[in-house]
Amino acid sequence: MRILLVESYFSGSHRSWAEGYATHSEHDVRLITHPGEWWKWRMQGSAVTLASALGSLDDWKPDLVVVSDMIDLAQYRFFARQILGDIPCVLYFHESQMTYPMTPGVDPDLSYPMTNWTSALAADVVLFNSGYHLEVFFEALPRLLKNFPDLTHEHLIDEVVSRGGVLPVGVDLDWIEKRPRGEGPPRVLWNHRWDHDKDPETFVAAVQTLIHSGTEFDLVLLGWRPPQTPTALSRVREIAGERIIHDQEVTIESYRDLITSCDVVVSTALQEFFGISVVDVALAECRPVLPNRLSYPWLIDERWHSDVLYESGGLVDALRTALSDPVSPPGLSESMTRFSWTHMGPEYDRRFASIAADWPGNSAGYHQYSS
C-alpha cells in the first residue's frame, strides 16, 4: 500500500515519529514536510505550500494520506484535491491547542484550537497519541465552542468522536543498553524543555529544598532552552553549582550516553500528551518521578503508580524517596518496550491498511498490499 505522510513541523518528536514509521513500515511510505519552526505560521499557512509540494510525487499516487496536527487540514484537502482525489485522510494528533497552557501574559487566541477542531471535522479518521489526549480533546471541545455567539458546532462532536481512536507514538528503543549503576551520588535527570508548560520552576524549588536538607545527588540538565536564559535555569545553576554534571542541549548520540548514566528522571509538566522523554529513560532503568496527572497515569501501568507518581505538592518527598533507593521498580523498564517501533510499526501498518480497505472508494483491494 502507498501511504503519504504529511508533517508540517518536521523536527523533534514529530520528525522522529515520521521517520520512525517510514523506516519500520512494510508499506511504501513517503514524506512531505516543512521545517519544524514558526508553529503558528505552520498552522496558518502550511496547507497551501504542502499541497503545492505534492507535485514532487510525479506519477506516484497514495492510497491513504496521514497528516500531522500542526496544519489546517480542511484547507489542505481543498488545495490538494486535484492530486489526491478521494482517498482516506487520517489526522494524527501529537498535541493540540485545546488544553495547552497559555504563556503567562499572553491573551488566549481561539483560532488555533478552532483549527484543530475544523481539521478533525475534515478528517476521515482522527487518531491521538494517547488515551489521555483523546479524552481531554473531546472534553474541551464543548467549552471551546461555547465561546461563540450562535450556530456553534456542538451537534457535530459525536460524529467526530465516532471517528476517533488511539495510536501511540512509536519510539526508537533498540539502541538502549542496560548499564550497572555508577559510583558516587545518584544522578537526577531533567530532559524537558525549559519552558512554562514544563514548569521548571517547581523542579528548581524542589532541588533547592533537597540541597538545603543535605540530600546528596548530582544533576544532568538537558532539554531545549530559549536564546534568553530562563530564570529557572539561572537559579538552578546558582543553587546546584558543582552538582551539575551536564548543562546543555546535546546531539542524539550524546543524549543517549547521558541518559543511560542517570538514576532518576523527574517531570513537573503542566502539559504532556504522551511522554517520549520518559519512555526511553525508563527503559534504560532510570527511576521516574512523575506528577499524577496528564498522560502519565495512562503511560505508566497502574501497578507502578504508587512507585513513580506523586500528588500535587509531593515532589520533594517523592524525589527524596527515589534518591534513597534509585532503582526502577521491577518490570517497569520492560513495559516500555510496547512503544518500540518493533511493535508499533506493524500496528500502524495494520491500522492504516484496515482504514484503506474499508474506504467506500476502494475498488483495488488495498488490504491485499503488504508493500
Same domain, 166 and 202: no
Q: What is the pLDDT of residues 220-256, one digit of tens each?
A: 999 888 889 999 999 999 999 999 999 988 887 788 8
DSSP reduced 3-state for 70: coil
Residue 101 clears pLDDT 90, i.e. is over it: no
**Strand ranges across the sheet with 218-221:** 244-247, 218-221, 187-190, 264-266, 287-291, 309-310
Q: Residue 164: inside a domain, yes or no?
A: yes
368 pLDDT more than 50: no
Euclidean distance between CA atoms 308 and 368, whole angstroms: 44
Q: What is the mean pLDDT of residues 161-189?
A: 86
Residue 13 sits in the same domain as residue 145: yes
> Which grid cell is 56?
514532487
Same domain for 352 and 305: no
Q: What is the pLDDT of residue 361?
A: 63
pTM of the model: 0.90
Residue 177 counted as domain residue? no
What's the alpha-carbon Rg for the chain, to the nearest Å? 22
Q: Report the number of distinct structural domains present in the chain.
A: 2
Interacting residues of 313 by C-beta distance below 8 A, sequence separation 6+: none
**325 found inside a domain:** yes
Residue 180, domain member (yes or no):
no
Q: Mean pLDDT, the chain, as a whole number? A: 90
pLDDT in tens, 260-311: 889 999 999 999 999 998 998 998 889 999 999 999 999 999 999 999 999 9
User: Containing domain of residue 308, as a range?
Assistant: 187-336
Same domain, yes or no, for 212 and 314? Answer: yes
